[in-house]
Amino acid sequence: MTNENNADSAARRPPAMPTVNTIAVGDIAEVLKAGLSDFLRAPLFGLFFGGVFALGGIIIALSLTTWDIPWMIYPVAIGFPLVGPFVAVGLYEVSRRLEAGKPLSWGEILGVVWLQRQRELAWMAFVMLFVFWVWMYQVRLLVAIILSRSSFSTLDRFIEVVFTTPQGWTFLAVGHVVGAILAMVLFSITVVSIPLLLDRESDFVTAMITSVKSVTSNPVPMLGWGVFVTLAVIVSSLPMFLGLIVTLPVLGHATWHLYKKCVAPE
């Protein structure tokens, strides 16, 4: 009876908090190189997931034009990559299989992605979409507060107002500061948590705490990675999101290897 009680207690005991490793700046170059290697080893998977993400950005941009709010394309282009880590789940699975020497098949990869709707990753998707919603809401709020006296109905007019008027400069400064804070928060809670949830049975709160600990324990390399990812994604988004077809898979694969360096094995 005692053995049964001990077994029940062990089954109810929450999993231990993952151990966070210390990494160096040189590790960032290594994970980026590993990410490029994974992309070249399985390019079709990378181009597929990168293409899906780029197509989503294009559809959103065209929808905003159809709804006569084309000026929203700029803030959407800045905020849309916030949900990139969740889209990269399929890329994490590809890297995991390459690392384990397992064969790659479309059915198994897409099946793993589809299965995540029943796991803790679904909660992480909600968190990321909520942050994206906050970003879009604060953009509309700043437009109402700072640019309320300006008139613009086209993207060209919006860019002219933003870049050539004192009100526009204020809007840019405040908007980018707020955006940087939101991006930093989202980066901290997702950079490790999403590949961790794919890799292990863990709850999303534990995964977010582990992710934040990875950033706070390795501030210089992790913040450097965050800045690099942000700049790479922004540059890749400029030609109608098309650059993301290649950039996203390379960064996604690299993020998997970053997770493996930051979090000790179970």
Task: Give residue 210's domain range.
Answer: 23-262
- Flag whether 5 is in a domain: no
Quick: pLDDT tens for 153-181: 666 777 788 888 888 889 888 888 888 88
Query: What pLDDT does residue 71 have?
Result: 67
Pick left, alpha or beta for residue 265 (phi over 0 → left; psi -120 to 50 → alpha; otherwise beta).
beta
Query: What pLDDT does residue 83 have?
Result: 66
Burial 43-53 (b: 16+ CB within 10 A, else e): eebbbbbbbeb
- Flag whether 12 is in a domain: no
- Flag whether 86 is in a domain: yes
Q: Report the residue count for the chain.
A: 266
- Flag whether 142 is in a domain: yes
- Flag whether 51 is in a domain: yes
- Flag whether 7 is in a domain: no
Tokens of 90: 């399929």
The shares of helix, strand and coil residues in the chain, as percent rounded to the nearest 5, are 80, 0, 20
Q: Which amino acid is at 148?
A: S
The answer to whether 235 and 243 are in contact (CB under 8 A) is yes
Residue 20's pLDDT band, with cuts at 50, 70 and 90, is: very high
- Flag whether 157 is in a domain: yes
- Mean pLDDT value of segment 225-235: 86
Angstrom CA distances, 42 to 11, 91, 107, stand at 39, 10, 15
- Flag whether 153 is in a domain: yes
User: In percent, how much of the chain has pLDDT > 70?
Assistant: 85
Q: Which amino acid is at 229?
A: V
Quick: pLDDT tens for 66-108: 776 766 766 676 666 666 677 788 999 999 999 999 999 999 9
The larger pLDDT score, comparing residue 27 to residue 52, is at 27
Query: What pLDDT does residue 70 have?
Result: 67
Query: What pLDDT does residue 123 have?
Result: 83
Task: Report the domain count for the chain.
Answer: 1
**Of the spans 149-163, 221-235, 252-266, which averages the highest pLDDT?**
252-266
